[in-house]
A and B are shown apart, each in its own frame.
Chain A
């Protein structure tokens, strides 16, 4: 066991994948000599040479489209989008080709590409550096969408993504890059489609993924003082989604709050909340609630904490889970009495 950061674990996952499989090539903007702006590819070019890890022209559609061609030739490309919002120029390539080639060709041609996207905020980044873009990808059939919240999961899920026969959008919560934990590598925590109970509890379930997981865990600790024993489920892979683990937890606790950092409207949390109420309706003692970012463009750094889901906002939401079996007054028709 050694203490390491998530950034180091991701770096180790790339290096180990390149060592195990000659077909793995890593490329993008500044990933070569510099090692990436977050140093996730640090040392890969020196170790594996500039054919295996290389810089490209500064063009995201080009990077992803190039990866499509490389995958067609039999390679296993892992590309880095430098920041969440910088990946938007690649969206056509991702949505129209990466996601669909297997389907369009009845399985004859698949493009197992990993698209790494450092995403979400909480780092004081200026505009266009903090978007939570996971819903765009999760809404696109043919893509797998994965986001780690722990150091060991970062390593394991990235190795699994590179081995996976399907394209994977690998969303890296950049505020967790330099979080550290004891980890033993090479770790293989769980296959795709497996959520995990990070903290067991009995009174309500907090469902979270990526950067929201530490917030959920902190809120669960704080909730003990309020007398609530909360369970925390880390989704890990948004697509494929593990309904079974989430459903089992909510059936047990009877209450559920879904937490995501992204803006809420039409987001992944909305999908999770809908799935939970469809599957757990008779076990629920309260409506499924959500805590999310506000429905605003990502704010300037000095205003980002107002936007981001906080422990207090999670606790306030947990308090609204109808513990006294009364309807939430804010949703009652005006003038009526509960």
Chain B
């Protein structure tokens, strides 16, 4: 190929085309802010207000504080119940109170919540009976509450699968003319699962009103975030799906509620899903069966104690003069009463009926299940008879 003189001629100022406006940035509005949104310093002193994330009302923050205190007491009580053998296992969310409570405060009772197994505190903060929340972990059945009554899916153990359910539920609700939002909780490790990708992608393609709320507590059992992703942070995953995203200091209750409130508004307004990543920390081990000292430096855990979300909100509300000793004491008493009630009710041995195993497999049991039920009924009768003989 030969080069013509015209092709190599340098563009002179006279021949230069008039400046065209720059093409719009296709990622505009999709990327998170470079630093997690923060409205309170770790010591509870306020940062300058932000126009993009207005501070929640004092009433909302006082309610958040109340539920965080009660939630933490619930978590401590559930851990104790595990040590007493009342629960088979308990995955604690201590340290993540701002996320647990902020998530459910940001949505309405008529919205749907899709929790994981670590959301016990969130579910109690949503008003679900704590005994029903702990049924799964006590082991007398799987899901203890009626999901249709409390608009909350069963606590999801298979990782990230709830992300797709949330997309379907939210799309189905809007399809039927309802303005329901779905809030899907997920942890940092589960963002590596295919169903996280498929869920966010389906929600984006169908403009389903879902808020995906990633609590990045830094570890998937023992595996650190660096083994889950090479992304700048998990919130950056949204742009690839065309989903606006934000990251927030997950131990700053004011920021968590502000960001989630905006995310829920975005979803409800018909603009599709929103992805929020909260940077937080699981103060306890993965569950009571885990030994976190095998993979976490105690200094790291100590450093996070200084960022305690409950103390942070209390300091802020006290400084604003909207929380006093009397209110703090009253809430602490309420939390104690809540724990005492839970302890008492969990100390009662639940009744389980082996014949109930055959219910709810299908709407009507199959002939094969009827046969097996009769076999178990006969076994139970024989066992009762031999006890009677003894």
Which A residues are within 8 Å of any B CB, using their own CB?
Answer: 25, 51, 56-57, 59, 61-62, 64-75, 89, 92-93, 96-97, 100-110, 141-142, 144, 164-166, 193, 239-241, 243-244
Q: Is B333 an interface residue (CB 8 A)?
A: no
Instruction: Please determine whether A75 and B362 come into contact, CB atoms closer than 8 angstroms.
Output: no
The complex places the Cα of A330 from the Cα of B367 at a distance, in Å, of 36
The complex places the Cα of A23 from the Cα of B363 at a distance, in Å, of 19
Q: Is B164 an interface residue (CB 8 A)?
A: yes
Per-residue CB contact flags for chain B residues 334-369 toward chain A (1 = under 8 Å, else 0) read: 000000000000000000000000011111001110
Question: Which stretch, B52-60, B193-201, B284-292, touches the partner chain A?
Answer: B193-201
Instruction: Please determine whether A72 and B142 come into contact, CB atoms closer than 8 angstroms.
Output: no
Instruction: Please determine whether A69 and B147 come into contact, CB atoms closer than 8 angstroms.
Output: no
List residues of chain A with CB within 8 A of the CB of B195.
61-62, 65, 92-93
Closest beta carbon of chain B to A60's beta carbon, Å: 9
The complex places the Cα of A106 from the Cα of B141 at a distance, in Å, of 8
Known: A62-B199, A69-B167. A239 touches B366 (CB 8 A): yes
Can you list 23 A-B contacts with CB-CB less than 8 angstroms, sorted by A residue number?
A59-B198, A59-B201, A61-B164, A61-B194, A61-B195, A62-B199, A62-B201, A65-B195, A65-B198, A71-B168, A71-B172, A72-B153, A73-B171, A73-B180, A74-B172, A75-B176, A89-B194, A105-B142, A105-B147, A106-B360, A108-B148, A109-B146, A110-B363
Closest beta carbon of chain A to B133's beta carbon, Å: 14
Indicate which residue in A59, A67, A100, A243 contacts B168 across the interface (CB closer than 8 Å). Answer: A67
Instruction: Please determine whether A70 and B368 come into contact, CB atoms closer than 8 angstroms.
Output: no
Sample of 18 more A-B contacts, CB < 8 Å, known A73-B168, A106-B359? A56-B202, A61-B195, A67-B168, A69-B164, A69-B182, A70-B168, A70-B175, A72-B165, A75-B175, A100-B142, A101-B154, A107-B360, A107-B363, A109-B147, A109-B148, A109-B154, A239-B366, A244-B367
Indicate which residue in B142, B165, B363, B368 contacts A243 across the interface (CB closer than 8 Å). Answer: B368
Per-residue CB contact flags for chain B residues 179-198 toward chain A (1 = under 8 Å, else 0) read: 01010000000000011001
List residues of chain B with CB within 8 A of the CB of A59.
198, 201-202
Instruction: Please determine whether A97 and B161 come into contact, CB atoms closer than 8 angstroms.
Output: yes
Q: Smallest CB-CB separation from B135: which chain A residue?
A: A106
Instruction: Please determine whether B205 and A73 come into contact, CB atoms closer than 8 angstroms.
Output: no
The complex places the Cα of A206 from the Cα of B176 at a distance, in Å, of 48
List residues of chain B with CB within 8 A of the CB of A142.
361-362
Q: Smallest CB-CB separation from B159: which chain A residue?
A: A92
Instruction: Please determine whether A104 and B154 come into contact, CB atoms closer than 8 angstroms.
Output: yes
The complex places the Cα of A62 from the Cα of B173 at a distance, in Å, of 18
List residues of chain B with CB within 8 A of the CB of A241.
366-368
Closest beta carbon of chain A to B205's beta carbon, Å: 6
List residues of chain A with CB within 8 A of the CB of B199.
62, 65
Instruction: Please determine whether B367 and A240 come into contact, CB atoms closer than 8 angstroms.
Output: yes
The complex places the Cα of A193 from the Cα of B141 at a distance, in Å, of 29
Known: A62-B202, A165-B363, A193-B366. A68 touches B176 (CB 8 A): no
Closest beta carbon of chain B to A28's beta carbon, Å: 13
Instruction: Please determine whether A102 and B363 come into contact, CB atoms closer than 8 angstroms.
Output: yes
With most chain A CB atoms within 10 A of its CB, the pick from B158, B172, B201, B362 is: B362
The complex places the Cα of A89 from the Cα of B142 at a distance, in Å, of 25
Instruction: Please determine whether B198 and A141 come into contact, CB atoms closer than 8 angstroms.
Output: no
List residues of chain A with CB within 8 A of the CB of B176.
73-75
Instruction: Please determine whether A97 and B158 come into contact, CB atoms closer than 8 angstroms.
Output: yes
The complex places the Cα of A240 from the Cα of B169 at a distance, in Å, of 29
The complex places the Cα of A26 from the Cα of B309 at a distance, in Å, of 46
The complex places the Cα of A141 from the Cα of B359 at a distance, in Å, of 12
Q: Is B89 an interface residue (CB 8 A)?
A: no
List residues of chain A with CB within 8 A of the CB of B201.
57, 59, 62
The complex places the Cα of A104 from the Cα of B161 at a distance, in Å, of 15
List residues of chain A with CB within 8 A of the CB of B202.
56-57, 59, 62, 65-66
Indicate which residue in A70, A92, A244 contacts B161 across the interface (CB closer than 8 Å). Answer: A92
Closest beta carbon of chain B to A49's beta carbon, Å: 12
Indicate which residue in B148, B166, B168, B368 contacts A240 across the interface (CB closer than 8 Å). Answer: B368
List residues of chain A with CB within 8 A of the CB of B171.
66, 69-70, 73
List residues of chain A with CB within 8 A of the CB of B168.
65-73
Per-residue CB contact flags for chain B residues 297-324 toward chain A (1 = under 8 Å, else 0) read: 0000000000000000000000000000
Interface residues of B in 132-150 (CB under 8 A from A): 141-143, 146-149
Q: Smallest CB-CB separation from B156: which chain A residue?
A: A97
The complex places the Cα of A144 from the Cα of B367 at a distance, in Å, of 13
Known: A59-B198, A107-B360. A243 touches B169 (CB 8 A): no
Instruction: Please determine whether A96 and B363 come into contact, CB atoms closer than 8 angstroms.
Output: no
Instruction: Please determine whether B170 and A69 come into contact, CB atoms closer than 8 angstroms.
Output: yes
Closest beta carbon of chain B to A119's beta carbon, Å: 22
Indicate which residue in B148, B154, B175, B198 contacts A51 across the interface (CB closer than 8 Å). Answer: B175
The complex places the Cα of A65 from the Cα of B208 at a distance, in Å, of 14
With most chain B CB atoms within 10 A of its CB, the pick from A65, A75, A165 is: A65
Instruction: Please determine whether A72 and B169 come into contact, CB atoms closer than 8 angstroms.
Output: yes
